[in-house]
Amino acid sequence: MLKDIWKHRTLIWAFVKRDLKGRYIGSTVGFLWSVIQPLVMILIYAILFSKIMQQKVGTSNLGNLEYVVYLCAGILPWITMQDTFIRSCGVFIENASLIKKVAFPPVILVANIVLAGFINLLIGFAVFFAVMLIAGVKFGWYILLFPVSLAVFFIFLFTFSLILATFHIFFRDTQQIVSLLLTVWFWATPIVYLPKIIPENLRFIIEINPANFLINIFRDPIYANQFYHWREASVFLLSTILILILGSAMFKKLRKHIPDEI
């Protein structure tokens, strides 16, 4: 499977470019939209929460923008994940004619979606860091771990996108279920709110919520300026890799049925 991806890397890249460009084709500023959209979102958060609502977190030395940093470190990856998963579910069905009529490995369609989503995430973070630095936020040294966080997140995205894409072929309800589940999960995870507002007796939900591990991978270096929670992070990474191995095995087994089922 990895061999297929490597072999078709130029094709994947062409697809990704088409995907990113295709969204805004025909519009006047084109690709700039993918910068403008996160920019406006982050500016609204920054103004709303630092000037008007003055949301205080009070655990870091990031000044009055600290809630914005807290929020963005969680919400940017979450939005990427949500978009990527939902798009992945439909990808094989939407490209049925390609899979059925042109002999090429379907896995590159998933790789394309994950890469496109990931590039949008990079743009989002670039805009975020630019705005924060201009506003005078001083990040700590642990920010240097940010690329590591991105790498782990990428593996995670690819793993589950592949599994969901395959699953959706056989159970066409997958996309709806995933979309609903992610909405519920979003509010079950401290992304917009702080863990401390949860009553003590319910806080275990956050502690066992795997999405919390995912968000912390970004929040630790960016917001909390500390090394990853050693145990959480390694469990998260190892289980992701394990699921990737199992998922690829499943994919390999079901691969032959894909053209017949879509």
Partner 1 sequence: MKSEEFAIELANIHKKFRIYGSPLSRLREWLTFGKLPTHYDFWALKNINLNVSKGEAIGIIGENGSGKSTMLKIIAGTTWPTIGDVKTIGRISALLELGAGFHPDFSGAQNIYISARLIGLTDDEIKERFDDIVRFAELGRFIHSPVRTYSSGMYVRLGFAVAASVSPEILIVDEALSVGDDYYQKKSIDRIKKFREDGITVLFVSHAMPHITRFCDRAIWLREGIIEAEGSAKDVVNEYQRYCYRHTYERLILAGKKEEAETLKPEEEPILEEQVWGSGKVKFTRVAILNGKGEETGSLDLGDDITIRQYYYAFEKIENPIFGLNIHTIQGVYIYGTNNHNIHPRKIDHIEGAGYIDFKIKNLILHKGKYFISVMVFDEPDDPYWQNPLDWHNQAYEFLVFSPSEAHGLVAFPGEWSKTHPEAECEMSGVPEQLDLENQWHFHFLDSGWYKLEKEDTGMAFSWSKDKGGFLLLQSPGKTVLELELRASHPDLKNNSVVVSVLMDDEKLGSIEINSIKWKKHKLNVPSVKKYQIRRLTLIPARIWKPEEQGLVGDKRSLGVGLHTAKFI
Binding mask 35-74 for partner 1 (x = CB under 8 A): ----------------------------------------
Task: In angstroms, give the least distance from the CB of 16 to partner 1.
Answer: 11
CB of 252 to partner 1, least distance (A): 13
Site for partner 1 (CB under 8 A): which residue of 103, 134, 184, 208? 103
Which of these segments, 8-16, 156-164, 193-201, 223-231, binds partner 1 (CB under 8 A)? 8-16
End-to-end CA distance of the chain: 20
> How many residues contact partner 1, by CB under 8 A?
24
Asked if residue 94 binds partner 1 (CB under 8 A), the reply is no
Nearer to partner 1, 109 or 191 (CB): 109
Binding positions for partner 1, 158-177, rule CB under 8 A: 170-173
Closest CA to 172 of 251, 252, 250, 94: 94
With CB under 8 A as the contact rule, the residue among 29, 52, 102, 134 that binds partner 1 is 102
Q: Is the Cβ of residue 112 or residue 161 nearer to partner 1 in the bound state?
A: 112
Q: Which residue has the tokens 């999405």?
A: 211
- Any contact of residue 10 with partner 1 (CB under 8 A)? yes
Q: Which of 43, 57, 98, 177 binds partner 1 (CB under 8 A)?
A: 98
Measured in residues, the chain has a length of: 262
Q: Where along the sequence are the contacts to partner 1 (CB under 8 A)?
A: 10-11, 14-15, 18, 22, 25-26, 95, 97-104, 170-173, 256, 259-260
